[in-house]
């Protein structure tokens, strides 16, 4: 039987996954809210469907679906996909939910993985709390939960921020972020499709948690431009948005080692240096000759 993946929120990561699966003979369906994005998805070769809370898919959209992956983040009322479609989801053989390492909250720089207890109390922060609730719903359906560290890749990296002139280097002593290149996420997802473990949790992070300022400095080095000045935390903090302040309030090192062993995969980009170099090299290859 031809395998069919339905992606709720066919965004950045899911698109890279679907491109790989279409090439391997799968069929794809995916949702978006924006009409222009729906047209782009149709051009990609997937059946594109509008979905949002209050605008569920017709039941026919689940016909023949063997796999569902959701990239839709929780909204103020919970998880829109779960709320609209839990009855349909129960009948799909393989479910995947893209979550976030925000569920671990602040760990004062300690290493965490799926064996680390997570709980609503003490709260992991508003983003983490909403994610944890959504994860709980999806795991009750037997979904595979993938906790993503800070995602980067082509078109979404420190290289783009530097080029756009919006990169900053904030000096918060001892603070690090964990990251993952989008193509390493896709590799893990493809491996998980073939190794069902309903209700399982997988951490997706590279091996080198590091300060954001270090990543920006390396992007500048690759681009041959001077790095922006290092801004002391006490001066920078009052200028940050609440969202960014929440990011910087939490510090943890996420280990994806157990996930890689369980799925039998390795990282193509073990740290941001390898990932950023590869992005730049790919851009150079794809640039039309002058």
Ligand X SMILES: NC(=O)c1ccc[n+]([C@@H]2O[C@H](COP(=O)([O-])OP(=O)(O)OC[C@H]3O[C@@H](n4cnc5c(N)ncnc54)[C@H](OP(=O)(O)O)[C@@H]3O)[C@@H](O)[C@H]2O)c1
DSSP letter at 155 equals T
Which stretch in 6-14, 137-145, 255-263, 265-273 sits in contact with ligand X by CB under 6 A? 6-14
Kindly report the backbone phi and psi dihedral angles of residue 52, in degrees, each rounded to the nearest multiple of 5, phi listed first.
Answer: -160, 170
Residue 77 binds ligand X (CB under 6 A): no
Residue 55 binds ligand X (CB under 6 A): no
Q: At what angle do helices 35-44 and 12-23 cross, to 10 degrees?
A: 20
- Can you say whether residue 127 is alpha, beta or left, with left for phi > 0 and alpha for psi between -120 and 50 degrees? alpha
Residues in the chain: 290
Residue 169, SS3? strand
Closer residue to ligand X in complex, CB, 80/200: 80
Which stretch in 66-74, 118-126, 192-200, 265-273 sits in contact with ligand X by CB under 6 A? 66-74
Residue 259 binds ligand X (CB under 6 A): no
Q: Which residues contact 256 (CB under 8 A, 6 or more apart)?
A: 113, 149, 180, 202, 203, 204, 205, 206, 207, 267
Q: How far apart are CA 211 and CA 171, in angstroms?
A: 8
Residues 188/202, Cβ–Cβ less than 8 Å: yes
* Per-residue binding letters, 155-174, with ligand X (x by CB under 6 A): --------------------
Which stretch in 20-28, 110-118, 143-151, 245-253 sits in contact with ligand X by CB under 6 A? 143-151
C-alpha dist (Å) from residue 112 to 99, 108, 116, 163: 15, 11, 6, 33
Residue 221 binds ligand X (CB under 6 A): no
Q: How far apart are CA 50 and CA 42, in angstroms?
A: 12
Residue 51 binds ligand X (CB under 6 A): yes
Q: Which of 4, 5, 6, 9 binds ligand X (CB under 6 A)?
A: 9
# residues contacting ligand X (CB under 6 A): 21
Q: Which of 96, 105, 124, 150 binds ligand X (CB under 6 A)?
A: 150
Which stretch in 108-116, 148-156, 169-177, 278-286 sits in contact with ligand X by CB under 6 A? 148-156
Closer residue to ligand X in complex, CB, 189/265: 189
| Shortest distance in whole angstroms from residue 224 CB to ligand X | 26
Binding site for ligand X (CB under 6 A): 9-13, 32-34, 37, 51-52, 71-73, 75, 80, 98, 100, 148, 150-151
């Amino acid at each position: 039987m031809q395998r069919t993946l339905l992606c709720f929120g066919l965004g950045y990561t899911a698109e890279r996954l679907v491109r790989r699966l279409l090439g391997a003979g799968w069929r794809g369906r995916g949702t978006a809210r924006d009409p222009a994005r729906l047209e782009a998805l149709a051009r990609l070769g997937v059946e594109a469907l509008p979905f949002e809370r209050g605008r569920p898919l017709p039941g026919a959209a689940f016909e023949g679906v063997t796999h569902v992956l959701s990239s839709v983040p929780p909204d103020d009322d919970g998880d829109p996909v779960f709320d609209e479609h839990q009855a349909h989801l129960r009948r799909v053989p393989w479910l995947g939910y893209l979550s976030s390492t925000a569920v671990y909250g602040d760990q004062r720089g300690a290493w965490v993985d799926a064996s680390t207890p997570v709980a609503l109390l003490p709260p992991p922060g508003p983003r983490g709390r909403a994610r944890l609730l959504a994860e709980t719903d999806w795991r009750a359906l037997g979904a595979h939960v993938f906790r993503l560290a800070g995602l980067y890749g082509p078109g979404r990296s420190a290289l783009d921020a530097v080029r756009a002139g919006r990169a900053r280097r904030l000096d918060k002593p001892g603070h690090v972020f964990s990251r993952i290149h989008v193509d390493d996420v896709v590799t893990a997802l493809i491996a998980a499709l073939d190794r069902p473990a309903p209700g399982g949790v997988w951490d997706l992070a590279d091996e080198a948690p590091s300060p954001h300022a270090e990543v920006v400095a390396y992007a500048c080095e690759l681009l041959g431009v001077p790095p922006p000045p290092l801004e002391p935390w006490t001066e920078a903090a009052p200028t940050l948005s609440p969202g960014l302040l929440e990011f910087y309030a939490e510090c943890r090192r996420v280990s994806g080692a157990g996930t890689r062993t369980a799925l039998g995969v390795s990282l193509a980009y073990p740290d941001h240096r390898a990932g950023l170099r590869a992005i730049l090299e790919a851009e150079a290859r794809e640039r039309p000759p002058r």
